[in-house]
Structure 1
Amino acid sequence: MEGLTSVGCDVYDLGIAIVSTMYYARQKFNIDGGVMVSASHNPPKYNGFKLCQGQNTLSGQEIQNVLKIMLDGNFAKGMGKIVPFPKGNEEYYGELKEKVKIKKKLKVVVDSSAAISALFVPKLLEEMGCEVVDLYPELNPTNPPHTPDPVAMDAYEVLIKTVLEEKADLGVLFDGDADRVGFVDDKGRIQLGDVILTLLVQDYLPKHKGAKVIVELKDSEMVIDEVNRLGGVPILWKTGHSLLDEKVHEEKAILCGEMSCHYWITPDWYVFDDAVHAMCQTMRIISESDRTFSEIIDTFPKYFATPEYRIGVPEDKKFELVKDVVDYFKPKCTKYLDIDGIRGYTDDGWFLFRASNTGPLVSVRAEAKTPEGLDRL
């Protein structure tokens, strides 16, 4: 904060907050930029900054431009001020409670990963009328109870056990800075971002005929099936939070969901990814139904899929490898999309091969209509 004020910026200090609160405060109060101190799900020895300017988070060349300013020491001169701004936190949770109504009392198990959501989510849910089983009410960032990552399947062990023991309606698991949330249904099954996006599509598209939905390349084909069935426009797009956020703004989409558990729900809300808002809307949908969470999920189109496999490849080789794979498989596909590696279709289903945005890895996934088709893929 001292660095920002030394170059003439006024800093609005939210204090301890989840990522959504920072996004919310910027849009609600017309603040130019935002900085979140977070390393998300990375090990405790890491830290980092999430930077925002204008409508979106910074990515790609914009981050390189910031790095160049730092390395060149090309700083402006000035003297800004620090403004304590707890109002940003207070109004975010207040507006959530005002706009999202959970119609019946649900029992929910909350796994904060002993991270920042522990300070806010259980209290919010209690104030919204839920019965809350709070697994980790105390912060423990240096020794979390498990990997604070909703796509790490082993992170769910205690949450699944508790949902079943408590006969809860659902469980939720947040990452380190609470911008992603995974779900466990009442049968103890893990439900990731593409399943929750399908749930949201079924609720929102009948009210927004012809609306656009951004579907991440790793998402299940069932999302596209449901968007088409309900008269919406599915737009497959590149993996990566910043890329999807930009696309949501560009297309004026009403929904977007990433398999890794980022969610955008824009009707009667703001245009940023918001895991806590997505949790509340998911619980609203469950509360309005005469079926359980698992019974709703069981009505979705059935596909058979692999997990996402992440394979180590040297950073200087991964893009060359992906290009070779794309060139090899294109002629073998009935159709394909090559905006980010390749999502290639065959008579059985589809496969994905792409380079990771964040490390020396390639990502591989496949999905088919039958188990036999998945074996062939």
Structure 2
Amino acid sequence: MALTRAAVLENSADLGIVFDTDVDRSGVVDNEGNPINGDKLIALMSAIVLREHPETNIVTDARTSMALTRFITARGGHHCLYRVGYRNVIDKGVQLNKDGVETHLMMETSGHGALKENYFLDDGAYMVVKIIIEMVRMKLDGSEEGIGSLIKDLEEPLEFIELRMNIISEPKHAKARGTEVIETFRKFIEEGKLEGWELDACGDCWVSEGCLVDLIDDPAAIDAHMYRAKVSNKEHGQFGWVHIRQSIHNPNIAVNMQSSLLGGCQTMTRVLRDKFILASGVDNVLDISQIEKYGKIGKVN
């Protein structure tokens, strides 16, 4: 991304394009050299898709920001939070369309994404073509602004962090231990042991049975347990969220956090440590050194 940004600025280009090696993930750089990936790329594609398909559903993984939800709903769309994992996100869109719920965009913060019009293929090149077409349309309409102007009102979270907790167990028992930890997290929240923490919800989809799933008769199988909790206090209302999930491939648990308050992620980390990890005793099966360090000094490295 840095090389592409430098090339855009050096050549006064309208757009820079970045792909991964097999072109199923993409990102872009606008004419001012601003990288557009993660939430910003989802917002850009949402703006384009919602102009073509007003009120459509947009499926993302549950690590996206509260600001992205506001961005989508302000344009008349519906934001469906779903499980981490690009196949989960795309398959969710396929299922919604089968159920008669119009869903034209499915996208993960990693840059993976698919469109209904492109047969739900995980295709980074097709995403970029849509962006180029929109950029040309803007120029033909007489706009002198770059593609980044479409997301200029997207707020960025003040803080975000990802922490990892390795599971201390024989490899053959690691998945079961991880599931126990995450289900204990759910139980603690449901019992009100973490004040101001509430399992997050999204329309007809909510956090149940270990992941964000539909209230339908045949929910998709759970590949890794995960929950997202929204965090509030009396002074500021909801100011952040915590997403905790099993890694599918490695014996660890990932903890993602976002906050709209300065110091919010560190505060949530301390609550997670004191009111859940230590209070429940799950620290016996977890290496919480990253949690400890971030809770004390506000950084990992």
Structure index of larger Rg? 1
Q: Mind listing any 5+ residue stretches in structure 2 that lack a counterpart?
A: 98-102, 201-206, 212-224, 232-237, 269-301
On the 8 A contact 1:199/1:297 being kept in 2, the answer is: yes
How far off its partner does 1:372 sit?
Answer: 4.5
On the 8 A contact 1:345/1:351 being kept in 2, the answer is: yes
1:66-77 alignment, distance < 5 Å: none
> Residue 286 of structure 1 is aligned with which of 122, 135, 141?
135
The structure-2 alpha-carbon separation of the partners of 1:297 and 1:206, relative to structure 1 and needing over 3 Å to count, comes to closer
Per-residue deviation, residues 284-335 of structure 1 (Å, max 9, x unmatched): 2233332223333322234324254445435504333333333334533144
1:190 is matched with: 35
Matched AA of 1:258: E
The structure-2 alpha-carbon separation of the partners of 1:294 and 1:277, relative to structure 1 and needing over 3 Å to count, comes to same
1:160 is matched with: 5
> Residue 167 of structure 2 is aligned with which of 313, 333, 337?
313
The structure-2 alpha-carbon separation of the partners of 1:168 and 1:313, relative to structure 1 and needing over 3 Å to count, comes to farther
> Residue 155 of structure 2 is aligned with which of 301, 310, 329?
301
How far off its partner does 1:280 sit?
Answer: 1.1
Q: CA RMSD of the aligned region, Å?
A: 2.5
1:336-375 alignment, distance < 5 Å: 336=200, 337=207, 339=211, 340-346=225-231, 347-375=238-266
The structure-2 alpha-carbon separation of the partners of 1:322 and 1:190, relative to structure 1 and needing over 3 Å to count, comes to farther
Per-residue deviation, residues 231-274 of structure 1 (Å, max 9, x unmatched): 3222111111222222111102211110011111223x322221
2:14 is matched with: 169
Following the alignment from structure 1 to structure 2, what is the Cα–Cα distance between the partners of residues 366 and 245?
Answer: 23
On the 8 A contact 1:215/1:224 being kept in 2, the answer is: no
TM-score, normalisation: structure 2: 0.65
Per-residue deviation, residues 342-364 of structure 1 (Å, max 9, x unmatched): 21112212121111222223222
SS of residue in 1 equivalent to 2:80: strand
On the 8 A contact 1:193/1:263 being kept in 2, the answer is: no
The structure-2 alpha-carbon separation of the partners of 1:357 and 1:280, relative to structure 1 and needing over 3 Å to count, comes to same
1:237 is matched with: 82
2:267 is matched with: 376
SS of residue in 2 equivalent to 1:371: coil
2:116 is matched with: 266
Following the alignment from structure 2 to structure 1, what is the Cα–Cα distance between the partners of residues 241 and 262?
Answer: 13
The structure-2 alpha-carbon separation of the partners of 1:299 and 1:313, relative to structure 1 and needing over 3 Å to count, comes to same
TM-score, normalisation: structure 1: 0.53
Following the alignment from structure 1 to structure 2, what is the Cα–Cα distance between the partners of residues 184 and 232?
Answer: 25
How far off its partner does 1:367 sit?
Answer: 1.8
Following the alignment from structure 1 to structure 2, what is the Cα–Cα distance between the partners of residues 179 and 320?
Answer: 34
1:1-377 alignment, distance < 5 Å: 156-252=1-97, 253-267=103-117, 269-289=118-138, 290=143, 291-313=145-167, 316=174, 317-330=177-190, 331=192, 332=194, 333-336=197-200, 337=207, 339=211, 340-346=225-231, 347-377=238-268
Q: Say which structure, 1 or 2, has more relative contact order (CA 8 Å, 6+ apart).
A: 2
Q: Mind listing any 5+ residue stretches in structure 1 that lack a counterpart?
A: 1-155
Matched AA of 2:127: A
SS of residue in 1 equivalent to 2:154: coil
Q: Among the aligned pairs, what percent are the same residue?
A: 21
Following the alignment from structure 1 to structure 2, what is the Cα–Cα distance between the partners of residues 157 and 196?
Answer: 16
How many residues end up aligned between the 2 structures? 221
